[in-house]
Amino acid sequence: MSINSENTSMTDKDIEKLANKIADIIFKRQEEYDAQFQIDLNNLADEGLLYNFPTLDKKYLLPELEAELKSCIEKEDYKQAAVLANKIKKLKDEKS
């Protein structure tokens, strides 16, 4: 079986389609992992083995979220950028 190099090039549209499919697969798997993690946490809670995660002070969290937002925008990851922008807005609204 040989591959004809003339037929292996992809257009920008093809690359974008492929990237979107890959991203969808990754997001779906992450949702599955998150769901399993939640189940595992609930099982730990049922067994009385809870761990309290410390929360970051908002004054430290806000600059980190803003830096991550900037990075997402530079990488053109607008889906994650929108999520971060909402978190930032909520934090700023809580400060007011």
- What's the pLDDT score for residue 6? 59
Task: Give the model's confidence band at 2: pLDDT under 50 very low, under 70 low, under 90 confident, else very high.
Answer: very low
- Segment 8-54, tens digit of pLDDT: 788 999 999 999 999 999 999 999 999 999 888 888 877 776 655 55
Confidence at residue 3, expressed as pLDDT on a 0 to 100 scale: 47
What is the average pLDDT across 61-81? 91
Asked if residues 88 and 62 have their Cβ atoms less than 8 Å apart, the reply is yes
Q: Indicate the pTM of the whole model.
A: 0.42
